[in-house]
Amino acid sequence: MDPINHIKVHKDSTFAMLLEAQRRCWRLRYLPPDSLFLQNGQVWARWQEITVTDDPHHWFDVVDEAVGLLSDCDVILMRKDPPFDMEYIYTTYLLELAEQAGVLVVNKAESLRSANEKLFTAWFPQCCVPTLVTKSELRIRQFLKENQDIILKPLDRMGGASIFRLTLSDPNLSVILEEMTENGTKTIMAQQFIPEIEQGDKRILLIDGEPVPYVLARVPKKGETRGNLAVGGEAIGMPLSDRDRWICEQLGGKLKSMGLMFVGIDVIGDYLTEINVTSPTCIRELDEIYSLNIAGILLDAIDQRLSDNASQNS
């Protein structure tokens, strides 16, 4: 995970997982982003054994430090935030070697590389609005002409960073396209604008392909088109709609088969917009609103997967 001393414990989903794992008497090893290394075909890590406390002022203690083989672990939760850069990819290669040594990695390393959080929606076109992925400014202009009102996104960011809403009358159209595509050298995504964003960008959590029965709608503040909590969106809980459940049914089997055990999809109105696989969040907010234990559901699924793997190998 990213540096544990910088997290906001009241909203951090990884911390919710740590609390639940400790409640079950699982030993917690914290691996900072730069802790992995490969030597003589084996993957090692410099880890800190920690305990955690749900206290916003003092939330963890280091009880031991060691260097050891990743194959000594039962399960590794890969919870590093984007950017999804080459360093991230190198980490997935090392985690894949750990998988070959028998460690359960959540989410599966190969699938983290395969399922770009913006582009993976293209595997489910029946769930999406008209979408274009290109580095061509000319094609984006044509897409804008056809759809009148669009959203532009980079493919490697999170938290609403560098997302633009464009209309034909925008005086900054040319410079936005130049900057986003880096003068036609960088691939980006364009999507038809969905007016229902006013009612919120719904985060739906799926565990081993099955949705949590409630969503967290991130409602944009006035004058903003992004609902992300990171940019000031208001969080409102609501039950899954029939359409939400249908979208989850379209995705669930594929996610499970790819070893994507914990996924957060974003739905605006009736349409899928993103499939978040790296470090989806909103556990703590939904737990608080609905008295849930989402981390407990996830760890139950992990425990079952560990048992299944043990049975297959016995």
Residues serving a catalytic function are 118, 153, 203, 218, 226, 266, 274, 276
Strands (E), 10-148: 28-30, 36-39, 42-52, 60-69, 75-77, 104-106, 131-134
- The number of angstroms, rounded, from the C-alpha of 77 to the middle of its chain's C-alpha atoms is 12
Strands (E), the chain: 28-30, 36-39, 42-52, 60-69, 75-77, 104-106, 131-134, 149-154, 164-167, 188-192, 201-207, 210-211, 214-219, 234-239, 262-268, 271-276
Structure tokens belonging to residue 174: 């040319």
Q: What secondary structure does DSSP assign to 3-18, as a single string?
A: -GGG--TTT-HHHHHH
